[in-house]
């Protein structure tokens, strides 16, 4: 949801900014822009509608000199994607340039006030009001930029990560955050890097400061990082080490990040379990559970909150906690939960699931749960993100940076962490036998190898994909643990191929959706061998009887479904509760290959952004 990059130092800023924007392009890609202070102290701003490549083309004959700059890739909220609405935005005099990620909720009130004082606005964005307000305060009160920023931010309601350049102070970048992420990289040569996440910084330094809400940072080459709050109280940020490798940020020979991330999953899950499951494969140790054993083991109820794919992982978590730990679980869309006045007890455990750790609705749900006195546990991927910092404790999924907008490895990482957590609590609560616990731990450690087998379906799926490109609608059916996987399969198809798809519990089909079935409707049925296997066969027959075209995901060696389905995709057998980890693979591959056949930009689907930092 918009990406911010900045640099101040002794190197040419432009290549650093462009490369940084490319790394952050998954956050938004409807327009991009940058501002540079040239060697002649000119403030040059260049903007273009479209992708970062369009901005690069636009800049090819411009003055791109300078050692100080800020840049932005946009996901539009207020104002259509256009070069006028792209960031940076100028102040009225042209002295300041500002980039912003977030939403200024009271922008209209502020805009009206400034307009009455004669300030003309050029764009339709909420962002422009910030830069105009800062300059207005600075000039009318004869303040320095930092002071003006502090006064202005007192008047602003909403979420922001901002960076500002001042033509009159070419040696300084000022940046600030409130509810939108911002990371400052500390170069060993006195330079500073700035970004919405650590990925644009990783190749220059591993020393970073994650700014906190309310922080305002002053970046000046060769000086120590100066951080204050809006009341000018000095803050003492902690310097952290990032462990992102460059290989994790590149496509590594794959045509798209999504395909790379699908194929990375066996390794990712090994990383996720590493150090948590012992060598004898009979014990799971999660430090968060050791530290907060009592709270977790005695939970009266678990409430899981998340959005999109993370919410689907939560639905699988519900089944794991209920069946293994006998703890009642509710799973809530964070966006609904936060406004629903939910009943939350102090002995509830709220589990917030998020890949990015920055999803605005999930953060708001956490805040609500904390205020209600519940214990909040985070399951997150992005190290140092807001969610791990705002939860009482939690577990990282450790699957490495996920760059494809369609979530893949984060989903299976989340399900793996939920499985380890449920097994740990079940063992502590004695709701499963020691024998069953050990058997399940062993099986979980075998999942990565079985996933490697499942990935061998790639060629078969690539061959099948063209059959489905004509479809206007698709149905995904599953039951039990596989119902959330049906929802997730449908979401993957929708977001990258733009084919309408519905996930449904297979038995619910006859209560409505069966009316949709005809020979034009591809139906993907998850029919692995589990306790509902016979029932799912009946559901397949119901689809067949109405002319529906069935592609079934089955356990290897299945002969019965092979007789009745149009296509079968065979997968290694595993325990019922771990089947989502197996079945997700072919569903991700199906969505991927269908989208590629349709010529879609898989990593940058229209209208979407990877990290949803606005409501």
Indicate the residue among 172 and 310 with the shorter CB distance to ligand M6R. 310
Q: Is 578 helix (H, G, I), strand (E, B) or coil?
A: helix
Site mask for ligand M6R (CB under 6 A), range 471-510, x = bound: --------------------x---x---------------
Query: CB of 569: closest distance to ligand M6R in angstroms?
Result: 21
Residue of the chain from 101, 150, 196, 355 that contacts ligand M6R (CB under 6 A): 355
Query: CB of 73: closest distance to ligand M6R in angstroms?
Result: 17
Query: CB of 379: closest distance to ligand M6R in angstroms?
Result: 9
Q: Does 310 bind ligand M6R (CB under 6 A)?
A: yes
Residue of the chain from 76, 97, 209, 307 that contacts ligand M6R (CB under 6 A): 307
Indicate the residue among 175 and 366 with the shorter CB distance to ligand M6R. 366
Mark 523-546 as b/e (b = at least 16 C-beta within 10 Å). Answer: bbbbbbbbebbeebbebbebbbee
**Taking contact as CB under 6 A, which single stretch among the options 48-56, 351-359, 465-473, 476-484 is the one that binds ligand M6R?**
351-359
Residue of the chain from 99, 201, 406, 571 that contacts ligand M6R (CB under 6 A): 406
Residue 356 tokens, joined: 């990015």
CA distance 438 to 419: 13
CA distance 574 to 446: 9
Query: CB of 12: closest distance to ligand M6R in angstroms?
Result: 33
Ranked by CB distance to ligand M6R, the top (closest) residue is 308
Residue owning tokens 């102290």: 41
Residue of the chain from 44, 196, 205, 359 that contacts ligand M6R (CB under 6 A): 359
CB 26 within 8 A of CB 403: yes
Q: How far is CA 269 from CA 104, 317, 397, 410, 556, in A?
A: 39, 17, 8, 10, 22
Indicate the residue among 359 and 528 with the shorter CB distance to ligand M6R. 359
Q: Is 68 helix (H, G, I), strand (E, B) or coil?
A: strand
- Half-sphere exposure (Cβ direction) of 186: Cα atoms closer than 13 Å: 18
Q: Which of 111, 260, 494, 610 is catalytic?
A: 610
Q: Does 261 bind ligand M6R (CB under 6 A)?
A: no
Q: Does 179 bind ligand M6R (CB under 6 A)?
A: no
Indicate the residue among 6 and 605 with the shorter CB distance to ligand M6R. 605
**Taking contact as CB under 6 A, which single stretch among the options 68-76, 98-106, 353-361, 583-591 is the one that binds ligand M6R?**
353-361
Residue of the chain from 123, 309, 319, 390 that contacts ligand M6R (CB under 6 A): 309
Q: Are strands 96-104 and 158-166 parallel, antiparallel or unpaired?
A: antiparallel
CA distance 2 to 72: 7
Q: Does 356 bind ligand M6R (CB under 6 A)?
A: yes
CA distance 372 to 301: 14
Indicate the residue among 491 and 614 with the shorter CB distance to ligand M6R. 491
CA distance 75 to 93: 26
**Taking contact as CB under 6 A, which single stretch among the options 76-84, 200-208, 401-409, 500-508 is the one that binds ligand M6R?**
401-409
Q: Does 407 bind ligand M6R (CB under 6 A)?
A: yes
Print the SS3 string covering 221-287. Answer: CCCCCEEECCCCCECCCCCEECCCCHHHHCCCCCCCHHHHHHHCHHHHHHHHHCCCECCCCCCECCH
Is there a catalytic annotation at residue 2? Answer: yes
Helix, strand, coil percent content, the chain, rounded in steps of 5 = 40, 20, 40
Indicate the residue among 123 and 359 with the shorter CB distance to ligand M6R. 359
Q: Which of 2, 272, 307, 474 is catalytic?
A: 2
The candidate with the shortest Cα–Cα distance to 393, out of 242, 254, 503, 287, is 287
Residue of the chain from 308, 314, 448, 503 that contacts ligand M6R (CB under 6 A): 308
Query: CB of 177: closest distance to ligand M6R in angstroms?
Result: 18
DSSP states of 196-211: SSSTTTTTT-SEEEEP
In the DSSP assignment, the letter for residue 212 is: P
Long-range Cβ pairs for the range 565-573 (8 Å, 24+): 565/525, 565/527, 565/540, 567/464, 569/457, 569/460, 569/461, 570/457, 571/453, 571/454, 571/457, 571/528, 572/450, 572/453, 572/454, 573/528, 573/529
Query: CB of 491: closest distance to ligand M6R in angstroms?
Result: 6
Is there a catalytic annotation at residue 610? Answer: yes
Residue of the chain from 104, 146, 324, 612 that contacts ligand M6R (CB under 6 A): 612
Q: Does 386 bind ligand M6R (CB under 6 A)?
A: no
Query: CB of 197: closest distance to ligand M6R in angstroms?
Result: 11
Residue of the chain from 8, 216, 405, 525 that contacts ligand M6R (CB under 6 A): 405
- Half-sphere exposure (Cβ direction) of 606: Cα atoms closer than 13 Å: 8
Indicate the residue among 29 and 204 with the shorter CB distance to ligand M6R. 29
The residues that are catalytic are 2, 610
Residues lying near ligand M6R in the complex (CB under 6 A) are found at 307-310, 354-356, 359, 362, 405-407, 491, 495, 611-612
């Amino acid at each position: 949801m918009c990406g911010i990059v900045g640099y101040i130092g002794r190197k040419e800023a432009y290549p650093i900014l462009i490369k940084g924007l490319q790394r952050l392009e998954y956050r938004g890609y409807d327009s991009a822009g940058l501002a540079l202070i040239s060697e002649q102290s000119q403030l040059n701003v260049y903007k273009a509608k479209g992708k970062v490549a369009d901005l690069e083309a636009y800049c090819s004959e411009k003055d791109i000199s300078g050692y100080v700059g800020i840049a932005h890739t946009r996901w539009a909220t207020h104002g259509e994607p256009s070069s006028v609405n792209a960031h940076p935005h100028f102040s009225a005099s042209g002295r300041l340039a500002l980039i912003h990620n977030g939403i200024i909720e009271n922008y209209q009130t502020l805009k009206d006030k400034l307009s009455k004082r004669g300030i003309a606005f050029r764009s339709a964005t909420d962002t422009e009001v910030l830069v105009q307000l800062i300059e207005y305060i600075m000039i009318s009160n004869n303040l320095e930029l930092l002071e003006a920023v502090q006064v202005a931010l007192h008047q602003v309601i909403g979420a922001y990560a901002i960076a500002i350049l001042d033509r009159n102070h070419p040696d300084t970048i000022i940046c600030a955050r409130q509810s939108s992420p911002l990371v400052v990289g500390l170069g060993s040569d006195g330079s500073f890097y700035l970004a919405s996440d650590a990925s644009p910084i990783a190749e220059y330094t591993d020393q970073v400061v994650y700014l906190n809400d309310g922080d305002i940072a002053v970046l000046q080459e060769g000086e120590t990082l100066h951080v204050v709050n809006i009341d000018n109280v000095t803050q003492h940020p902690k310097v952290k080490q990032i462990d992102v490798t460059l290989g994790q940020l590149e496509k590594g020979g794959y045509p798209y990040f999504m395909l790379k991330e699908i194929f990375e999953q066996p390794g990712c899950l090994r990383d996720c379990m590493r150090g948590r499951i012992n060598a004898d494969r009979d014990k799971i140790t999660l430090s968060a559970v050791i530290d907060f054993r009592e709270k977790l083991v005695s939970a009266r109820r678990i409430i899981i909150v998340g959005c999109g794919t993370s919410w689907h992982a939560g639905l699988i978590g519900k089944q794991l906690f209920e069946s293994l730990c006998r703890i009642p679980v509710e799973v809530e869309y964070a966006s609904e939960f936060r406004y629903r006045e939910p009943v939350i007890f102090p002995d509830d455990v709220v589990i917030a699931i998020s890949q990015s750790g920055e999803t605005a609705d999930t953060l708001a749900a956490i805040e609500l749960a904390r205020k209600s006195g519940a214990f909040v546990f985070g399951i997150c991927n992005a190290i140092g993100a807001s969610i791990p910092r705002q939860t009482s404790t939690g577990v990282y999924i450790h699957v490495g940076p996920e760059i494809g907008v369609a979530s893949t490895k984060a989903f299976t990482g989340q399900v793996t962490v939920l499985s380890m957590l449920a097994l740990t609590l079940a063992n502590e609560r004695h709701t499963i036998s020691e024998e069953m616990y050990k058997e399940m731990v062993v099986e979980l450690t075998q999942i990565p190898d079985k996933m490697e087998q499942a990935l061998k379906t790639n060629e078969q799926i690539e061959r099948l994909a063209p059959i489905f490109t004509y479809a206007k609608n698709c149905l995904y059916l599953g039951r039990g643990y596989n119902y959330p996987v049906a929802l997730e399969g449908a979401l993957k198809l929708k977001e990258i191929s733009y084919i309408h798809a519905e996930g449904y519990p297979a038995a619910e089909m006859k209560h409505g959706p069966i009316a949709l079935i005809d020979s034009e409707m591809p139906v993907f049925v998850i029919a692995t061998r589990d306790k509902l296997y016979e029932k799912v066969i009946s559901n397949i027959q119901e689809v067949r009887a109405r002319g529906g075209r069935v592609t079934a995901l089955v356990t290897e060696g299945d002969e019965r479904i092979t007789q009745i389905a149009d296509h079968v995709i065979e997968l290694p057998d595993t325990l019922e509760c771990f089947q989502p980890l197996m079945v997700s693979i072919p569903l991700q591959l199906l969505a991927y290959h269908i989208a590629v056949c349709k010529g879609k930009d898989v990593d940058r689907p229209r209208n979407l952004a990877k990290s949803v930092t606005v409501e």
